[in-house]
Amino acid sequence: MKKNKKMKAKTHRGAAKRFKITSTGKVMRWRSGKRHLLGTKKPRRMRRLLNKVQVNPADVKNVRLALPYGL
């Protein structure tokens, strides 16, 4: 007879590559716009695009559901 076991929550692999959760619990993302047409973008703009930013509070719930183990 099989025992009823609770299934493991699976991490959404796409979300795991796009978001990071800090030790204090903030959800961070990288900025877009760094893949092509880089010659037309000013160095100041490129430096700004390098930094991570916090995910919008409206989207945090969905990101946390996709990352049940906080990767």
Residues in the chain: 71
Query: Right CATH number for 13-66 from 4.10.410.60, 3.40.1280.10, 3.30.43.10, 3.90.650.10?
Result: 4.10.410.60
Q: What element of type H or E holds 28?
A: strand 27-30
- To the nearest 5 percent, what fractions of the chain are helix, strand and coil? 40, 15, 50
Full pLDDT tens readout for the chain, 71 residues: 667 788 889 999 999 999 999 999 999 999 999 999 999 999 999 999 999 999 999 999 999 999 999 87
pLDDT value at residue 18 = 96
pLDDT value at residue 6 = 83
